[in-house]
Structure 1
Amino acid sequence: MAQDYHHGVRVVEINEGTRPIRTVATAVIGLVATAPDAAAAVAATLLKESAAAESGVTYTAATAGTTGNAIRVRYVDPGSASATLAVTVSGKDITVRLATDTEGAITSTAAEVATAVNGEANASALVTAAEEGAGAGVVAASGFSNLTGGEDEPFPLDTPVLVTDPLGAQGDAGDTGTLARSLDAIVDQVKTLVVVVRVAEGADDAETKTNVIGGVDGNGKRTGVQALLAAEARLGVKPRILGVPELDDADVTSELIGVAQKLRAFVYASAGDSTTMEEAAMYRENFGAREVMVIWPDFTGWDTATSSTRTHSAVARAMGLRAKADQAIGWHKTLSNMPVNGVTGISQDVFWDLQDPNTDAGYLNSHEVTTLIQRNGFRFWGSRTCSTDPLFAFENYTRTAQVIADTIAEAHLWAVDKPMHPSLVKDIVEGINAKFREWKRQNYIIDGVAWFDAEINTPEVLKAGKLYIDYDYTPVPPLENLMLQQRITDRYLVDFADRVAAA
């Protein structure tokens, strides 16, 4: 009988048509910081007791962290006379075979068990044993018991860590270094995801800078700012708002820009050690990338760690405010002219007037430096990047390009390696156009459209398994310069008499 014969009903699924496109997450901060007294890892422990007095043994994992919670210990009665005390290890299970006398009664004391465990190489590689009290009491047989309480280091060096609660994480960040202060600055603005990379604080500023810049160690592990590139593989999130508050200079920022370009992220950077607006303008000339905004000066405010007023990093607050804007308004809004929380002053005098272009703020903005002002609260003032290409002069132009590129690309994994029928191409184009219509309705873009270009998609190109889909879009310009044209006229006096009569 023919193999395709069937007497009944069969269903063949045809999964064609457009797919919904989800916008990539944008309010994810990538923070590189120091924290010399950050919380350490906690070793797992186990107190194994018996009914006999002073017969306890405490086991402590040799390696701190959650891996110690998988270690188990048991005491076994050999069930025979004149047995000797012996320790064996299988994986992470430690078995103590207790000694007995000529009548088969257990004779091993806590002290003897601890000595035996510490003397067995495989067991001592897992735990350290210590008798409780005098250790003279005879122990009793018991089943497996797990070590518990092991906790990993919350911020291991040069390792991206996902912080979902920046406020709670401050307790593990310690009191020194930049991590706790940076988290506090972010929390003042918003609750968002933060990818933290902690680096070691060096013996001097130069060594700390080297640690911040990082690289790749002998084991292939990325360190310093380069560790942000490992975040997506390790944590499943991609940091898109990057900064190294209080530790960035031209060298650090230059390296961070390279990371941002790989991640399609945006960098907020200070103007280094600039003490005047002229120095800040000159400092900005170090960069020509669209992925960075230079900010000068810093904020001031109360520091609870020192119970005094001190300088507060503008970069850390820019990162938090950027995430807040993404959540509340969208990635099409620039950082400028939004109130900043948690600050009470500006570290340098910056003259600003809403109507006068010849001010300190106007000078800085004209040199693509974002500054700080005080008007109904403290605010960032300026939307310019360091781009040499006028197409990406504004912060939101760069971020719009990044978000659209990643969203459209990542949304079409499903289409790769599918048979390239015309229907597939149509589905891709229609799906992109549907997303553009959604963004247009939400005011994220002015408009955008995708299309299939027959001229570039020649038979030879298609035969090679390649497909070109074109699309264009218009980002939303920020209203940077509002020109109000005021005129004086006497034309409203022409009918003055009639107005009097009608009054």
Structure 2
Amino acid sequence: MHGIKTNILLTGTRTIATLASGVIGLIATADDADAALFPLNKPAPITDLRSALAKTGTTGTLGPALEAIYDQVSPIVIVVRVAEGDDEAEQDAAVIGSAGLYTGMYALLAAEAQTGYRPRVLGAPGLDSQAVTTAFATVAKKLRGRVYASAIGDTIAEAKTYRENFAARELSLIWPNWSNDFAGDAVARALGLRAQIDEETGWHKSLSNVAVAGVTGISKDLFFDIQDETTDVAALNDSDIVTMIRSPSGGFVYWGNRTCSDEPLFAFEPAVRTSQMLQDEIALGLIWAQDRPLTKALIKDCLEAINAKFRRLVTQGRLIGGKAWFDGELNPAEDLAAGKLVIDYDFTPTAPLEGLTLNQRITDKYYADLAAQLAA
């Protein structure tokens, strides 16, 4: 070549994009729903919730669940309609479905491939028996999503006993219900509110203490006093159950930040969701680096991409801090030569202000100021 040739060098930091965190995955029944819009055992993406409500039919849980969600926000909802069973065992089997055939709740695992959306806010309002909730927690772990389900029981004691059946960080149990006719109303509205919070605030904010639309009361009498640690509401929260109150500032809200995790580091809902979103956003944000030559420049670009993401999240108030680094001991020469790279990172999620202590003192010192002012 007699001239000048320019090589385009693809190096430098890539921005790690933010993923949609508020896509709802809903399992519901409705024998008379529009089968074209809501096919059986297939993930159906609903992007216009208002229009879809006219096609849900009049039977089953689909209509009431979507109406409760729509009262909060109009998000993307991935609906998997399942058949109505003749008894609880048959209904549980339909809701849970088959992992091999991708039916029931397992159809949500195929949703991203079929629709382009990954559901992360999950529930089966009105259908969430113990068997269903147990299986759903497993599906949620694969999706890195969050399941909201009812804590089954007629009393606080029974709800607390029911809570002991679970040890999943991906699960939030709710008790009792809103005083609406739909048995799954509390769960359905939690799905909608979670999507609304993700849209307006972010995944780092818990479900607790945000106004719920479309409710007029609570199905059980509960004693609550924000300055009393011995109330019904406190007892439920102490057992990691999300409950509900009439807020002193007005309206009705969910009350509680805890998951069903057996690991204290993931006791708070925001800690779990922060971990989940960081996992996916960082991993997907580094796809560009896959199969490129493993050089010092590539390693630096990967580290800077992660650290730049952390800086943005800290600025946004979604993270207290985070850092990625290269540990030479975890990256021996033979592993690097074999195309294997290990990058460490840590982070501190934002904890919800769950307990505020106010120290009150009585004093006469302000009378001294008063005397001085009168003398002037």
> What range is the shorter-chain TM-score in?
over 0.9
Alignment partners' CA distance in 1, 2:103 and 2:191:
21
Q: Is the alpha carbon distance of 1:225 and 1:180 closer, same or farther for their aligned partners in structure 2, counting shifts above 3 Å?
A: same
Q: Which residue of 1 aligns with 2:178?
A: 299
Task: Give the letter aligned to residue 24 of structure 1.
Answer: L
Q: Which residue of 2 aligns with 1:68?
A: none
Taking only aligned residues, the RMSD between alpha carbons, in angstroms, comes to 1.2
**1:346 to 2:223 alignment:** no
Q: Which residue of 2 aligns with 1:318?
A: 190
The answer to whether the 8 Å contact 2:125/2:184 transfers is no
Alignment partners' CA distance in 2, 1:37 and 1:454:
61
**1:27 to 2:22 alignment:** yes
SS at match of 2:244: strand
- Select the residue among 9, 13, 38 that pairs with 1:14: 9
**CA deviation profile, 1:299-336 (whole Å, cap 9, x unmatched):** 124xxxxxxx6656100000100000001011110000
Q: Which residue of 1 aligns with 2:253?
A: 379
Q: Which residue of 2 aligns with 1:113?
A: none
Q: Which residue of 2 aligns with 1:157?
A: 40
Alignment partners' CA distance in 2, 1:437 and 1:497:
53
More helix as a share of residues: 2
Q: Which residue of 1 aligns with 2:367?
A: 493
**CA deviation profile, 1:89-133 (whole Å, cap 9, x unmatched):** xxxxxxxxxxxxxxxxxxxxxxxxxxxxxxxxxxxxxxxxxxxxx
Q: Which residue of 2 aligns with 1:228?
A: 108
Q: Which residue of 1 aligns with 2:274?
A: 400
Alignment partners' CA distance in 2, 1:469 and 1:311:
47
More strand as a share of residues: 1
**CA deviation profile, 1:55-106 (whole Å, cap 9, x unmatched):** xxxxxxxxxxxxxxxxxxxxxxxxxxxxxxxxxxxxxxxxxxxxxxxxxxxx
Q: Which residue of 2 aligns with 1:428?
A: 302
SS at match of 1:230: helix
Alignment partners' CA distance in 2, 1:310 and 1:157:
22
Task: Give the letter aligned to residue 293 of structure 1.
Answer: S
Higher mean C-alpha deviation, range 29-38 or range 484-493: 484-493
SS at match of 1:162: strand
Task: Give the letter aligned to residue 246 of structure 2.
Answer: Q
Q: Which residue of 2 aligns with 1:258?
A: 138
Q: Which residue of 1 aligns with 2:84?
A: 201
Q: Which has the higher contact order (CA 8 A, sep 6+)?
A: 2
The answer to whether the 8 Å contact 1:167/1:183 transfers is no
- Select the residue among 311, 314, 337 that pairs with 2:209: 337
Higher mean C-alpha deviation, range 172-181 or range 490-499: 490-499
The answer to whether the 8 Å contact 2:179/2:219 transfers is yes
Alpha-carbon distance, 1:495 to partner: 4.3
The answer to whether the 8 Å contact 1:337/1:379 transfers is yes
Count of equivalent residues: 374
**CA deviation profile, 1:321-368 (whole Å, cap 9, x unmatched):** 000000101111000000000111111111111111111100000010
Alpha-carbon distance, 1:221 to partner: 2.6
**CA deviation profile, 1:410-460 (whole Å, cap 9, x unmatched):** 111111110001000000001110000000000000011111111111101
Q: Is the alpha carbon distance of 1:162 and 1:330 closer, same or farther for their aligned partners in structure 2, counting shifts above 3 Å?
A: same
Q: Is the alpha carbon distance of 1:395 and 1:446 closer, same or farther for their aligned partners in structure 2, counting shifts above 3 Å?
A: same
SS at match of 1:319: helix
Q: Which residue of 2 aligns with 1:183?
A: 66
SS at match of 1:289: coil
SS at match of 1:176: coil
Q: Which residue of 1 aligns with 2:323?
A: 449
Alpha-carbon distance, 1:8 to partner: 2.7
Alignment partners' CA distance in 2, 1:277 and 1:380:
16
The answer to whether the 8 Å contact 1:300/1:311 transfers is no
Alignment partners' CA distance in 2, 1:492 and 1:11:
78
The answer to whether the 8 Å contact 2:257/2:268 transfers is yes
Alignment partners' CA distance in 2, 1:12 and 1:495:
77
**CA deviation profile, 1:434-489 (whole Å, cap 9, x unmatched):** 00000000000001111111111110111121101111110001000111111111
**1:276 to 2:158 alignment:** no
Gaps of 5+ in 1: 1-5, 41-152, 302-308
The answer to whether the 8 Å contact 2:127/2:184 transfers is no
SS at match of 1:299: coil
- Select the residue among 283, 290, 308 that pairs with 2:169: 290
